[in-house]
């Protein structure tokens, strides 16, 4: 029997380009394969709680340039460890069977899950329980293995670069150090790309533990050479040598409870104290997730969405479309969740940064 009814959901953190995927999935499924598409609300929460709607062709018209996701999302709704409240206390339950029952009650023959590492881990769990799932790789951090780029990354780098560009003028006018904190828990792709593109003088990433004395010495040398300002770009997951992450808070109901943030303020205070130079801190945070996707991300997301529907039609489940060079190829979801894609210490962009006089805090 050909595939005639599929579901689509977006899970994990939001980012620009999700709607472009949904747009491509719905239109290709209807036009090329005469499929029905069910949109599931708020990621796996909608699958557990039974919340969805049929997506018609016109429902997705005009959504490609929109940020966010018309289906909503959740980074707390892991069906295998679902947050619940009993007798006023938070607890976690395995509600994966409820999700499976709803999948079957909808009459789904396949599910397209748009997300990153967490979403792919959950999808793999359901695949092991017999569900037919195809993934679509999404994360602004670009830390999902087996694909050169994920959609959402280019948009985040664009926003970060524009912010750095704007901070240059005010830093130069007031002879200040500007510290720009960007997202990136365990991988510094956003910091490295935007730092190079925006002309950051110091780039700190999770892959290279920094020495604050070396950073301050570098800034002093810039001042001695007549450069009276500096731009420091730091990923939220950066940490000092012999130090640890800067934790902003913990979210108990999330499967990943640690929320990083605040390393920019730590570094800013240390730079000002050690150099005597007035220092300001800007935390871009969720600005990197919002807004309209770049043309590159719209195209990449559309390619991923269309390829995902083809995989479903061909009944090639447990896979996701990955970008290799300029080609889209199918890759097992299991391979993507083996490990995060961090920046290799011999990566060419690190060499570019060093050779153009950028300090990496080493």
Residues annotated within the binding site for Mg(2+) are 117
**Is 141 designated active site?**
yes
Binding residues for ATP: 13, 76-77, 116-119
- Which whole-number Å values give the CA distances from 327 to 147, 152, 239, in the listed order? 10, 18, 36
CB atoms within 10 A of CB 172: 15
Residue 143, both tokens: 């830390």
Residues in the chain: 362
Q: Where are the beta strands (DSSP E) in 127-246?
A: 133-137, 177-182, 202-204, 230-235
The residue among 84, 87, 66, 79 whose CA lies nearest residue 21 is 66
Binding residues: 13, 76-77, 116-119, 139-141, 176, 183-185, 236, 280, 286-289
Instruction: Report long-range pairs for 99-106 (Cβ below 8 Å, ≥24 apart).
Output: 99/44, 99/47, 99/48, 99/126, 100/126, 100/129, 100/130, 100/131, 102/47, 102/48, 102/50, 103/7, 103/47, 103/131, 105/50, 106/5, 106/7, 106/38, 106/52
Binding residues for substrate: 139-141, 176, 183-185, 236, 280, 286-289
Query: Which one from 14, 42, 141, 297 is the annotated catalytic residue?
Result: 141
Residues annotated as catalytic (active site), given as ranges: 141
């Amino acid at each position: 029997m050909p595939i005639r009814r599929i579901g689509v959901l977006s899970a994990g953190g939001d980012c620009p380009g999700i709607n472009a995927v949904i747009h491509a999935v719905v239109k290709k499924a209807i036009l090329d394969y005469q499929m029905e598409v069910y949109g599931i609300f708020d990621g796996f929460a909608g699958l557990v709680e039974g919340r969805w709607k049929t997506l018609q062709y016109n429902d997705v018209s005009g959504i490609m340039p929109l940020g966010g996701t018309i289906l909503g999302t959740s980074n707390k709704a892991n069906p295998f460890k679902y947050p619940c409240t009993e007798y006023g206390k938070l607890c976690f339950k395995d509600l994966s069977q409820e999700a499976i029952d709803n999948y079957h009650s909808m009459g789904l023959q396949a599910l397209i899950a748009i997300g990153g590492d967490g979403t792919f881990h959950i999808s793999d769990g359901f695949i092991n329980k017999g569900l037919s799932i195809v993934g679509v790789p999404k994360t602004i951090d670009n830390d999902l293995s087996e694909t050169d780029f994920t959609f959402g990354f280019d948009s985040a780098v664009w926003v970060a670069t524009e912010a750095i560009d704007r901070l240059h003028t005010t830093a130069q006018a007031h002879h200040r150090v500007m510290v720009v904190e960007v997202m990136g828990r365990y991988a510094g792709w956003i910091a490295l790309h935007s730092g190079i593109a925006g002309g950051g003088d110091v780039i700190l990433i999770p892959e290279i533990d920094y020495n604050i004395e070396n950073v301050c010495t570098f800034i002093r040398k810039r001042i001695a050479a007549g450069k009276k300002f500096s731009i420091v770009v730091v990923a939220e997951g950066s940490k000092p040598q012999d130090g640890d992450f800067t934790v902003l808070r913990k979210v108990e109901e999330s499967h990943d409870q640690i929320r990083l943030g605040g390393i920019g303020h730590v570094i800013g205070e240390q730079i000002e104290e050690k150099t005597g130079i007035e220092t300001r801190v800007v935390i871009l945070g969720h600005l990197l997730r919002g807004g309209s996707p770049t043309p590159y991300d719209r195209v990449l997301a559309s390619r991923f969405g269309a390829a995902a529907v083809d995989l479903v039609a061909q009944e090639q489940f447990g896979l996701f479309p990955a970008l290799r060079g300029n080609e889209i190829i199918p890759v097992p979801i299991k391979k993507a969740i083996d490990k995060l894609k961090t920046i290799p210490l011999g990566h060419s962009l690190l060499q570019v940064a060093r050779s153009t006089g950028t300090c990496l805090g080493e």
